[in-house]
Amino acid sequence: MVAKKEIKKAMACGSAIRSSTRKLNVVAASIRGMAVGKALNQLSFSPRRVAGEVKKVLQSAIANAENNHNMDVDKLIVAEAFVGKALVMKRWHARARGRAGRIKKMFSNLTVVVRENEENR
């Protein structure tokens, strides 16, 4: 019987990121399955405002993998990157004839999981 080797994973969470989940998920989907070096490069040159926040969370996950789990940084890939809802600030905007329009300011949570690539071993 062959014993399966445990797959090491490291993760980092970013909470209350000031962007809606739909906008943040577009950036998170663009780095899923990539090598971390390539993902960092893509986030650095992305035109989207929220890419900087995603880059911070990814760098934190890489640091956790290196320092807490003794993983090789060159072999890491982004295994998962998923987005969840956080709080919603409700604001009001003055409209005509004494009325008010609702403004929702959305916040999101981001979780990035990195693991070592088995193919490169």
What type of residue is 43?
L
pTM attached to this predicted model: 0.89
pLDDT for residue 8: 87
Q: Which tens digit of pLDDT belongs to each residue from 48-80?
A: 999 999 999 999 999 999 999 999 999 999 999
The whole-number average pLDDT for the span 92-106 is 97
Beta bridge pairs of residue 9? 115
Which pLDDT score is estimated for 4? 64
Three-state DSSP string of the chain: CCCCCCCCEEEEEEEEECCCHHHHHHHHHHHCCCEHHHHHHHHHCCCCCCHHHHHHHHHHHHHHHHHHCCCCHHHEEEEEEEEEEEEEEEEEEECHHHCEEEEEEEEEEEEEEEEECCCCC
Domains and CATH numbers, the chain: 9-116 (3.90.470.10)
